Structure 1
Amino acid sequence: SLLFLFIYKITLFPIRCCTSPRMCVLHPQVRDSASSALQDAKLRDGSTILSGGFGICGIPMTLIRAVRDADAHNLTVVSNNCGLNDWGVGILVASNQVQKLCISYLGRNTCAAKLYCDGKLSIEFIPQGTLAERIRCGGAGIPAFYSPTGVGTVVQHGNFPVRYGMGGQVVEVSQPRETRIFHNQLHLLETAIRGDIALIKAFRADTAGNVQFKNTAQNFNFDMATCAAYTVVEADTIVPVGHLPSHDIHLPGVYVDAVVQSREPKRFEIQPSYRNTAPSSDPNLQVRELIAKHATNELKPHSIVNLGVGIPTLVSKYIMPHHGIFLHSENGIVGYAPLLDPQCEDCDLINASKEPVQLVPGSSVFSSSQSFAMIRGGHIDTTVLGAMQVSRHGDLANWATDDVQRIRGMGGAMDLVANSKHVVVTMEHTTKDSVPKILDTCTLPLTGSRCVDTVVTDLATFDIDKSSGTLYLRELRPNVTLEQVRRHTPVPFIHSHHSS
């Protein structure tokens, strides 16, 4: 009878497999130091390192410093950009430990730019969304994929300098992409990226390696954690197993091999300069603000809008809550606004210009790969970008000049112009030397071909018929004459006599 009662009870009340957190841990995760974690990861000369972060937001600085101290050389570093001369991946570049960078944007790292020009560093520039997806595919076991990003540019055709010789000659160039047509649109074949070691920054992690990210510090960290042979997470806070609710875990511990305590401070790359919504007294900024204000008129109420770096960032000053516009930033936000209170600055919450911002009601944050999935999937209504040149057919050049020392990379611009429903360019009508920027044909490397719909300058607003290559002058700025516009626009255009 006792045996029957025991069987009866276990049938009604099954025994739980894990009765304590200790039994649920797959294997010990926490290491005493970053250096010991890197020893376990078998860091060595020639390793390929994946380093999370966007600018210097969400960078694993404790681990990066440990890599520098380990004195490993000839490293290949995959990162969205390479930090500053004295911060982020930049310290590995400055110590001559990196032989190749795979990045989307060089940014303000003058040391890396000089080494590239001097033939001491290879740089493979990759469109930001393509970089994110190549990393995501690496973690998902997908060897390659097709993307429309970069069609008609050096990404498709190759032959862009990857490395210079000591005498300034090009010794290595990018390779052309295999192409295929889907749904009457040309696509490029891109291959997945995997690495030896992933360096990841987290807000919280438990001792089983489960991870939470904070705001825009998630960026590339999530996807990079999934596609390396060994993943090390540095966390602001480490908690026991069970302290992170299962539904609040962003990165499962199955991807993580080691966790270390973060010991480095956080920094802003750019101090905010647009908190004040009052007009600027700087004449140069006044021109840029004029362009930004008129660009705001191109945005439809209740739309999703991406703002690029430079003049486009100023557009956010003129978007009011009643417009119902949600701003998207490729580093992982939908729904942000300029930061008005300096005391609310958060190093883990920035826009694509790397300025601190604030979230608005209804906002969301996510990874870089998900951000660009939104872009490629056609969920962004309007993109506003800066430009160096625009052609009458809507070709855009905004990332590279003839001067190699000024090349910074394409960032996310190629992805945005290839996939957004409406592309608005904001720029001064001419260069500082009065050279026109609206041309018959762009002479600089293209960001995208036949992609621009509207051009907003300090002189006028134009619409572009991309199929016929026709410019339509829609609006003149106050106190600007038609003759002025003609003098600074070396291509024909059609104007409305009602323009004002």
Structure 2
Amino acid sequence: MPHQTHPLLSNRPFTEKGKVVSAQEAVNLIRDGDAVATGGFVGIGFAEHLAVALEERFMTTGQPRNLTLMYAAGQGDGKTRGLNHLGHEGLVARVIGGHWGLVPKLQKLAIEGRIQAWNLPQGVISHLFRDIAAGKPGTLSRVGLGTFVDPRLGGGRINDVSTEERVSLLPIDGEEYLFYKALPLQVALLRGTTADTLGNISMEREALIMESLAIATAVHNSGGLVIVQVERLAKRGSLPPQSVRIPGILVDCVVVCDDPEHHWQTFGTRYNPAYSGEIKAPMATPEPIPLSARKIIARRAAFELKPNSVVNLGIGMPEGVGPVASEERVLELMTLTAEPGVIGGLPASGLNFGAALNVQAIIDQPAQFDFYDGGGLDIAFLGMAQVDGQGNVNVSKFGPRLAGAGGFINISQNARRVVFMGTFVAALEELAIVDGEVRLAEGGVKKFVASVEHRTFSGALAAAESKPVLYVTERCVFRLTAEGLVLEEIAPGVDLERDVLALMDFKPLMPVPPRLMDARIFREEAMGLREHLLDQPLAQRFTFDAAEEVFFINFENLKVSTQADIDTIRETVEAWLTPLQRKVYAIVNYDHFRIDEDLLGVYTEMVSDLEARFYSKVTRYTTSVFLRMKLGDALEARSVAAHIYESAEEARAHLKP
């Protein structure tokens, strides 16, 4: 789609030397009515210096006026920083944002109907930047169906003065999709670490990459002006090509920030090299969280974790899952992610949210939402403010308060499993645990309501897709079904009628009496979650590859503590191999295997007997030097081949002649 070039850029007059300008010179190029795109996540990657300069220009001269503002993630501190600098009537006339909770000044203008305003899913906006860059008419997605973004439920409009249709329903081959309309963008306000004089931008000290390249390309290809705030300037050609995140051909103005207060790494931290992946920081063992409603909810939710899962933790209540997982020594069993692009490590919280310590990778936000939207997340833990009987969830709007959806819609709609977390009623926490039972205070505002005020998650859509969804509170747990919410669990000490049903606007389904929540959740000591997650049934630990004639035995994390355990192993091997009526090769994984000392002799006698009867040759492996020595000596005493290898590859390589 053709766009009119910014008049000041008709011949791209900015020479190499002329690209480096002051913040005031850069924002003076912004015209009345321009559409401005900003990058950032909370405070990460946000061009604070440019926003301050733009606000000062408007407050001094009254210009520019009637800007359109478009941004994906929330960019603010909930007070005065970030996009709050643009929260002046007259400066902006129209805002398309992914999250509004951190920008109260813009939020007030939207709620009062003094600007046109839309709330669209964060991931959709990040993809829309990319599609505008490619000259496409918009973004086609299933994200948002059945929520307030669906045009049948409001189309993402925040107020009545926002009459333009930004989202439309577009059926394709019998499937419903939403089409999000593109718009030309005239200005980009972005941030990096280093710029050379050609305008090439690197981000080595940034905690995130965000959608900076997509925005820069979208604005450049719309004929607009790309302004980038950086910390420092380098000579042309001195940046390693692979470190350049925004190439200079897209950049018109480089502004070196001369005020360190306007270039914090996050709005909570001036600079932490571990957030930008420049170092690996020692991970301190956190102090155990006091037993509270928040911890009870996080503990119950943590039981939904599975080893080797890819996980997203939302902000607020879900943040508690991280510390609980750390206390229970299960963090290394899974990969935590956050929507702006971090993979692995430990996500930060508060005004550092979006960053993470000791990450495996930092990718751009559109790519992260490609992964999320395509079903890459195994499980997501998200907050809930209101829930109704159909399983719909509201986290985006409550009366005059506009939080916005952020990445919630993308994540909740596309994760394979979802756990919503929140207190049962909205009230100051007054909860006590007495002898493992919950004691609750009376009162509180109902959160389980007849109909949610704003639909941020569609229970009907999730139920139609048979998505596993749980709703975890400190006093009970619900599960989503096609018929509605089923009350499945209740906390010990909680009265079903008084503490649950009387405080709901609908009656949940209860085909059977709810069972008690796991008693370990309500005790001070650790729950033993690691052992619980790694406890694989014995029947699933044996496989036979008929083509290779190899019998695999996986004893990883198995604990043998009774004679019955040994008898069960013997009987299971016999059941597998006796019908074959021939000997086979065998490989045994002993990683993290544990056995009581007084059972070692009996166990190795059983192993010797099985080897004589069923194995033509057997190899074993474990990464534990101690176990290799201990088990090797015991096997050798039984005249069994005692060499135990360090890896599965070595064990396989030495299995057959």
**Structure number with larger C-alpha Rg:** 2
Contact 2:392/2:457 (8 A) holds in 1: yes
- The change in CA–CA distance for 1:398 and 1:292 in structure 2 (over 3 A counts) is same
2:125 corresponds to 1:131? yes
Match of 1:21 in 2: none
Matches within 5 A, 1:207-226: 207-213=197-203, 214-226=205-217
2:92 corresponds to 1:75? no
- The change in CA–CA distance for 1:375 and 1:303 in structure 2 (over 3 A counts) is same
Query: How far, CA to CA, are the matches of 1:398 and 1:276 in structure 2?
Result: 32
Letter in 1 for 2:93: Q
- 49-58 or 175-184, larger mean C-alpha shift: 175-184
Query: How far, CA to CA, are the matches of 2:382 and 2:338 in structure 1?
Result: 12
Match of 2:43 in 1: 56
1:251 deviates by 2.1
Contact 1:271/1:355 (8 A) holds in 2: no
2:313 corresponds to 1:307? yes
Contact 2:98/2:122 (8 A) holds in 1: yes
2:116 corresponds to 1:122? yes
Match of 2:181 in 1: 191
Match of 1:180 in 2: 170
Match of 2:403 in 1: 408
Contact 2:426/2:447 (8 A) holds in 1: yes
- The change in CA–CA distance for 1:191 and 1:161 in structure 2 (over 3 A counts) is closer
User: Which sections of structure 2, spanning at least 5 residues, go unmatched?
Assistant: 1-13, 59-63, 271-283, 428-442, 463-467, 518-657
Matches within 5 A, 1:214-363: 214-228=205-219, 229-264=224-259, 265=261, 266-267=263-264, 268-269=266-267, 277-279=286-288, 286-320=292-326, 322-323=330-331, 324-337=333-346, 354-355=352-353, 358-360=356-358, 363=360
- The change in CA–CA distance for 1:174 and 1:456 in structure 2 (over 3 A counts) is farther
1:399 deviates by 1.2
Contact 2:167/2:181 (8 A) holds in 1: no
1:299 deviates by 1.4
Alignment partner of 2:494 out of 467, 480, 492: 480
Contact 1:392/1:464 (8 A) holds in 2: no
1:411 deviates by 1.0
Contact 2:268/2:350 (8 A) holds in 1: no
Paired residue secondary structure (2:132):
helix
Alignment partner of 2:483 out of 449, 461, 468: 468
Contact 1:329/1:352 (8 A) holds in 2: no
- 151-160 or 174-183, larger mean C-alpha shift: 174-183
- The change in CA–CA distance for 1:482 and 1:38 in structure 2 (over 3 A counts) is closer
- 295-304 or 428-437, larger mean C-alpha shift: 428-437
1:479 deviates by 2.7
Match of 1:341 in 2: none
2:119 corresponds to 1:105? no
Paired residue secondary structure (1:250):
strand
- The change in CA–CA distance for 1:223 and 1:480 in structure 2 (over 3 A counts) is same
Query: How far, CA to CA, are the matches of 1:95 and 1:498 in structure 2?
Result: 55
1:162 deviates by 4.8
- The change in CA–CA distance for 1:231 and 1:271 in structure 2 (over 3 A counts) is closer
1:164-201 CA distance string (max 9 Å, x none)? 6xxxxx33346373323458642101122431111110
1:435-488 CA distance string (max 9 Å, x none)? 54345x5331111212371111111222222x2325150x33233344444444
Higher relative contact order (CA 8 A, sep 6+): 1
1:410 deviates by 1.0
Query: How far, CA to CA, are the matches of 2:269 and 2:298 in structure 1?
Result: 20
Letter in 2 for 1:60: A
- 58-67 or 318-327, larger mean C-alpha shift: 318-327
1:236 deviates by 1.2
Q: What TM-score do the two structures reach when normalised by structure 2? A: 0.62
- The change in CA–CA distance for 1:325 and 1:259 in structure 2 (over 3 A counts) is same
Letter in 2 for 1:254: I
Match of 1:32 in 2: 21
2:471 corresponds to 1:455? yes
Using the aligned pairs only, state the percent identity. 25
Query: How far, CA to CA, are the matches of 2:330 and 2:288 in structure 1?
Result: 21
Q: What TM-score do the two structures reach when normalised by structure 1? A: 0.81
2:192 corresponds to 1:202? yes
Contact 1:308/1:352 (8 A) holds in 2: no
Query: How far, CA to CA, are the matches of 1:431 and 1:58 in structure 2?
Result: 34
Query: How far, CA to CA, are the matches of 1:237 and 1:91 in structure 2?
Result: 24
Match of 2:631 in 1: none
- The change in CA–CA distance for 1:292 and 1:322 in structure 2 (over 3 A counts) is closer
Alignment partner of 1:380 out of 377, 392, 400: 377
1:77 deviates by 1.6
Query: How far, CA to CA, are the matches of 1:152 and 1:393 in structure 2?
Result: 12
- 128-137 or 428-437, larger mean C-alpha shift: 428-437
Contact 1:207/1:240 (8 A) holds in 2: yes
1:146 deviates by 1.3
Paired residue secondary structure (2:492):
coil
User: Which sections of structure 1, spanning at least 5 residues, go unmatched?
Assistant: 1-24, 165-169, 339-349
Query: How far, CA to CA, are the matches of 1:175 and 1:482 in structure 2?
Result: 46
1:409 deviates by 1.0
Letter in 1 for 2:294: R
1:263 deviates by 2.4
1:244 deviates by 1.5
Paired residue secondary structure (1:418):
helix
Match of 2:509 in 1: 492
- 477-486 or 374-383, larger mean C-alpha shift: 477-486
- The change in CA–CA distance for 1:177 and 1:442 in structure 2 (over 3 A counts) is same
Query: How far, CA to CA, are the matches of 1:413 and 1:221 in structure 2?
Result: 21
1:248-276 CA distance string (max 9 Å, x none)? 2222222212222122323454589xx98
1:255-307 CA distance string (max 9 Å, x none)? 212222122323454589xx9843556x8xx2112101211111111111111
Alignment partner of 2:417 out of 413, 422, 429: 422
- The change in CA–CA distance for 1:183 and 1:391 in structure 2 (over 3 A counts) is farther
Paired residue secondary structure (1:81):
coil
Query: How far, CA to CA, are the matches of 2:420 and 2:479 in structure 1?
Result: 10
Contact 1:158/1:174 (8 A) holds in 2: no
Contact 1:135/1:193 (8 A) holds in 2: no
CA RMSD of aligned residues (A): 2.9
Number of residues paired by the alignment?
A: 447
Query: How far, CA to CA, are the matches of 1:375 and 1:132 in structure 2?
Result: 13
1:381 deviates by 1.0
1:414 deviates by 1.0
1:78 deviates by 1.5
Match of 1:45 in 2: 32
